[in-house]
Amino acid sequence: MLLGLYSDVDPLEIWLPALEGVLAGHEIVVGEKALARAGELDVLMTWAPPVELLRQCTGLKAILSLGAGVDHILRHGADVPDVPIGRLVDPVMSERMSHYVIHSVIHHHRHFPSYLQQQGKAEWIEHRQKDAGELTVGILGLGALGTFCAERLQMLGYNVCGWRRSLTGNETITCYEGADGQKTLLTQSDFLVCLLPLTTETRGILGKPLLDQLPRGAVLINPGRGGHLVESDILEALDSGQLSGATLDVFEPEPLPADHPFWSRPDILLTPHIAAQTVPATAARVMAADVELIANGASPLHCVRLDRGY
Ligand code: OXD
């Protein structure tokens, strides 16, 4: 098959050898060459493809995302070819995400924002700390990433619960569903972690109506998507003390503009979309398995369901 590899942000010089190593027997064209041969491509492996590329991919069998999310593809709406779209589910990314979330929870739980400020002023002041078992972490979105984070946090002694749009029956931690379930989770979450996909339903979910349901002084951790945030509501919640802190990894647009108010706030820990960087060496193996499925006329393993938008 002819495979196209296209991304303006991913290091394709690392991706290409990783993919070539596991996809012998298929031809891979990269970047501008993928654009030039778009009409011949069988599979497009991509992050944030330009709409012109999608429009020219007239013979595609499938699209594979180079990241966990697929909103960067689906945002093109009717211009997205009507073929199966595979999400990247790589256990290495789940582990990376769990490290990010655990670090964020401990950062705020153990008062590191205060200690960092104190260090700048040579101030020796102890802050009282709660035990992990006195605190609850609520996770919105219990897919592969959310479940892995939840299990790890539980092992560290935190109370953990999750919310997903509908229960599967295979949840390994306390899990709620639906609007009532979301309220139950929010009212007990000292830390709220958002790992939802970005869909028309979840855009702007992290706004005042949701934030007001959290216990006063809760912490927000968002490695989900920038489109989940209502930025003015986050700032207002921090100013009023409804939120005592936040860790934010994703923004709209990215990069976050240099004059954005988030940058200068000591109560926000801000990172540049690195919570679960893709690892080409392991992701390539996951994608190679999908390419073999597609070559045999099947769909990628973790296929997007367009009816739910992820
Ligand atoms: C993502 C990723 O989907 O980094 O955000 O993989």
pLDDT digits (tens, 9 = 90+) for 179-191: 999 999 999 999 9
Confidence category of residue 251, pLDDT binned at 50, 70, 90: very high
Ligand 1 centroid vs 224 CA: distance in angstroms? 8
Confidence category of residue 307, pLDDT binned at 50, 70, 90: confident
Structure tokens at 24: 């012998």
Predicted pLDDT of residue 37: 98
| Nearest-10 crossing angle of helices 280-295, 12-22 | 50
Model confidence at 171: pLDDT above 90:
no
Locate all alpha helices (DSSP H) within 88-225, ordered by sequence.
Answer: 91-109, 112-120, 144-155, 178-188, 208-211
Ligand 1 centroid vs 42 CA: distance in angstroms? 23
Model confidence at 144: pLDDT above 90:
yes
- Give the three-class secondary structure for 220: strand
Predicted pLDDT of residue 239: 98
Q: What are phi and psi of 281, to 5 degrees?
A: -60, -45
Ligand 1 centroid vs 67 CA: distance in angstroms? 4
Confidence category of residue 172, pLDDT binned at 50, 70, 90: confident
Residue 225 designated active-site: yes
The answer to whether the CB of 283 is under 6 A from ligand 1 is no
Predicted pLDDT of residue 214: 98
* Element at 136 (helix H, strand E): strand 136-140
188-to-59, 136, 140, 231, 296 alpha-carbon distances in Å: 50, 7, 13, 23, 48
Ligand 1 centroid vs 134 CA: distance in angstroms? 32
Query: Which atom number of ligand 1 is nearest to the Cα of residue 66?
Result: 6
Query: Which atom number of ligand 1 is nearest to the Cα of residue 67?
Result: 6
The answer to whether the CB of 67 is under 6 A from ligand 1 is yes
Average pLDDT over every residue of 303-307: 92
Residue 127 designated active-site: no
Q: How many helices (H) and strands (E) does the chain have?
A: 11, 12
b/e per residue, 146-158, with b = 16+ CB within 10 A? bbbbbebbbeeeb
Model confidence at 133: pLDDT above 90:
yes
Q: Which residues pair with 174 in a beta bridge?
A: 161
Nearest-CA residue for ligand 1 atom 6 is 67
Whose CA is closest to 106, among 85, 82, 137? 137
Model confidence at 170: pLDDT above 90:
no
List pLDDT tens digits, range 195-241: 999 999 999 999 999 999 999 999 999 999 999 999 999 999 999 99
Query: Which atom number of ligand 1 is nearest to the Cα of residue 70?
Result: 3
Model confidence at 35: pLDDT above 90:
yes
Locate all alpha helices (DSSP H) within the chain, ordered by sequence.
Answer: 12-22, 32-36, 51-56, 71-74, 91-109, 112-120, 144-155, 178-188, 208-211, 231-240, 280-295
The answer to whether the CB of 68 is under 6 A from ligand 1 is yes
The answer to whether the CB of 31 is under 6 A from ligand 1 is no
Nearest-CA residue for ligand 1 atom 2 is 67
Whose CA is closest to 68, among 141, 150, 177? 141
Query: Which atom number of ligand 1 is nearest to the Cα of residue 225?
Result: 5
* Element at 175 (helix H, strand E): strand 174-177
From 96, 108, 152, 273, the catalytic residue: 273
From 164, 225, 265, 302, the catalytic residue: 225
Can you give the C-alpha Rg of the chain in angstroms?
A: 21
Structure tokens at 26: 């298929």
The answer to whether the CB of 276 is under 6 A from ligand 1 is yes
Average pLDDT over every residue of 72-83: 96
Cα separation, 293 vs 282, whole angstroms: 18
Query: Which atom number of ligand 1 is nearest to the Cα of residue 273?
Result: 4
Yes or no: say if 43 and 63 are a contact pair by the CB < 8 Å rule. yes
User: Can you give the pTM of this predicted structure?
Assistant: 0.94
In whole numbers, what is the pLDDT of the chain averaged over residues?
Answer: 97
Cα separation, 176 vs 250, whole angstroms: 25
Average pLDDT over every residue of 270-276: 98
